[in-house]
Chain A
Amino acid sequence: MKITKFMNAVMMTAAITFGGGAVYAQQSGGSLVFLVQPEPPTMAGYVSTSGPIGLLGPKIYDGLFDYDNDGKMIPVLAESVDMSEDGKTVTFNLRKGVTWHDGEPFTSADVQFTIMDVLKKVHPRGPNSFKEVSSIDTPDAHTVVLNLDNPAPYMLRALSAYESPMVPKHLLEGEDIKSAKLANNPVGTGPFKFTEWKKGQYIRLDKNESYWKEGRPYIDRIVGRFIPDASTRASAMEKGEVLYAAYNAVSNVEAVRLNKEKDNISITTDGYSMINPMALIEFNTKEGPFTDAVVRRAISTAIDRQFMLDTIFFGYGNPATSALSSNFAATGLHAKMPHYPANGDVAAANKMLDDAGYKKDSDGVRMKAMFDLIPYGEDWKRGGQYIQQVLGEIGIQVELRYEDVPTWLKRIYHNYDFEMNLNYFYQLADPVLGVHRHYGTNMIRKGTHFVNSSRYSNAGLDALLGAGMKEPNAESRSAIYLEIQNILARDMPVVNLFELEFLTVYNTKLKGAYGSAMGAYSSFGDAYLEE
């Protein structure tokens, strides 16, 4: 035993010295400074799915599983999962010898508490992901048995550290979970421990020396820096002050330039397949000018999606071809639908409106509308101004409205005081997780953000959504979702524009941080710095 260890050490030293050997090429040490944009309100990833929390949370908290780029499950806190024949019993076998950052052991009681008392209750998407879980048994400290009312195959796609972080029962039990102290002093089982939060400047995480995975993490320290100004962020990247910037923290135009001009800076679109962002227009289907589906279909037909992608997002993304992202094609859930041209067809759109009896007046205007724009920066404003021009060509005169974030959220999701709204949604790893919330009648929830603001309600579709949720057979499921897409292509309460591709900009001396399907929302336990 001792000899093998010694030999290992010798080989490791040799590998590092001679710079060869794939297995031992990873180097330990160093600090990774990366961009977190904007500064998160808290670090409670179990309460909020907000982007910046996702950048930091999964470094501190582990999930039961992680996912590789092909969607395969990688064991993290759970070593394996068994599903019963009828799909109604799911058993996780937990890893042994895992401890929380404060030294307490991680057990099945923590998993039970996390799912039943935290994720199912306060997480924005948890109630959906774990909807079918009626109770959880813990026969021993390392076995968790989930009892389901109905099969829920999609649940196994929602077990990452970002989507479902495992939290310590001993620190949350009996507290008000939404306001517990843990939010600002996170204690997890992950590869990095929370050390310091300097408001307005950075959050510092240090290596978890007793991490369950032998030899990980490689990096000693992770610093998430907050830089509010976009050009300063780009120059920090250029100067090598920060090594990693995901979710367009460095704008596409600057990212492309840095990639071209700098040998040590690269860009990638990997790491977003579980996020699946979709740009879209939500319509008020209850009142105003867009209650008629023909008008919505005409708008979808007129917009040149490829032009928007090429000019505004520098070609990163794909034109939408259905209500579902083409990233679902791998699981057979995507089909190309009519009224989704990549290049836009103004003449056809005009004809659709003419045929439906919408007459142009002497100024060429058929109808007027107000167009709200997601207040997330210049790209979206530019997109809105483009769409305004195109709609003008088909006789729909729109005025743009660009407000601050709280006012906009209130207008769209509390008061429904809008006619059409430019936005983007995460479709996530499965339609149940990210798409159902947009169309289901049960998702018309006044005051809840990013759900069915169109107030579209169709009993037939609701039944299909319910069936799609429970269907374990891949082929039958694909048939259900084909029907769902047909209905949505006909009714179009939402017009999907394009599948966004976020860009990650990174310094090439950072390795192993951009392979996971969770991308920036992953643990970085395997990341290392090469000097």
Chain B
Amino acid sequence: MNDFWKRFSRNRSAVLGLLILCLVIFVASIASLIYPGDPFLYSQYPLSKPGENGFLLGSDSIGRDVASGIAHGAKTSLLIGLIATFAAVLIGVIFGALAGYYGGLVDDVLMRVTEVFQTIPSFIFAILLVAIIKPSIESVVIAITVVSWPAVARLVRGEFLALKNREFVQACHTLGMGDYRIMLKEMLPNCLSPIIVIGSLMVATAILIESGLAFLGLGDPNVMSWGFQISDGRSMLRVAWWICTFPGIAILITVLAINLVGEGLNDALNPRLRERN
């Protein structure tokens, strides 16, 4: 662990990213404490400039607090990012592991299925899915999962293909270990590092997809999110710049931070890079 942290901290920007990410998580977790009310609550002070009428980052056209929206939106964004990524990694690992381990017909079938999903541009596919199922937080998570898992599946399949003829796996076979035990206990731990890296980057993508969907009006209208704030304020950009600027900055630095952390994890976990420097 110490060793891992040493390698991770060698990447200065990754540490910075981690700090920012911790800050975002902190804000999200205390959102209900600092802004106890509903972030959708209107007020009698519409379009207040930042600092006016007690609104730190201004208010929108029906007087909702932009700062409160960002704090509560952080929770939404992170939650969607994590859940969707977890689900995508789970599905991807199962598909990839089975395909890579068994090969042959299983591989063919599973990979053709994966390719079907991969040939459709992911964002457009996500729009389609959310439009078919009604826009809600669940449908957004489902859409992000559906468009994200194929990448994991291909990665895990590749890793499993490389591992399955290695000596330690063959040794397991001769010892009479079952297939699932070999896959789960022996092979999966050996390809965990690339999965962690792709997963961390996927959280960032998921947040972007969620914001994009909300921006296009396909978010859950009952849940405050950064994308919703931007789409709500976009038509007023020339009159009230603060409504969409601050949520935009929040998306930018959060996604940047997660990407930096992902890079750092890649550096720390990739054995081929271990000898660098």
Contact = CB atoms under 8 A, between A and B. Distances in A.
Interface in B96-140: 131, 134-135
Given A257-B238, A385-B40, A402-B221, A378 B62 contact: no
Interface in B23-55: 38, 40-42, 44, 46
Instruction: State the majority secondary structure of interface residues on B.
Output: loop
Contacts of B41: 389
Instruction: State the majority secondary structure of interface residues on A.
Output: helix
Given A254-B235, A389-B41, A399 B222 contact: yes
A311 B63 contact: yes
A402 B232 contact: no
Interface in B221-270: 221-222, 231-232, 234-239
Contact of A378 (B40, B131, B231, B237): B231
A257 B235 CA distance: 12
A230 B231 CA distance: 12
A382 interface: yes
A388 B42 CA distance: 10
Interface residues of A, number: 28
Contacts of A385: 40, 42, 62, 221
A483 to B, nearest CB: 37
B61 interface: yes
B217 A253 contact: no
Contacts of B231: 378
B42 A381 contact: no
A167 to B, nearest CB: 37
Contacts, number: 63
A373 B42 CA distance: 18
A384 B220 CA distance: 13
Nearest to A390: B42
Tell me which of A251, A385, A389, A404 has the highest count of chain B C-beta atoms within 10 A of its own C-beta: A385
A400 B135 CA distance: 10
A403 B131 CA distance: 7
A160 B206 CA distance: 53
Contacts of B234: 231
22 contacts: A253-B235, A253-B236, A254-B235, A257-B238, A257-B239, A310-B46, A311-B46, A311-B62, A312-B62, A373-B221, A377-B217, A381-B232, A382-B61, A382-B232, A384-B221, A388-B40, A388-B222, A389-B40, A389-B41, A389-B42, A401-B134, A402-B217
Interface of B: 38, 40-42, 44, 46, 61-63, 131, 134-135, 217, 221-222, 231-232, 234-239
Given A307-B62, A378-B217, A384-B221, 7 more contacts: A230-B235, A257-B238, A307-B44, A385-B62, A385-B221, A388-B40, A403-B134
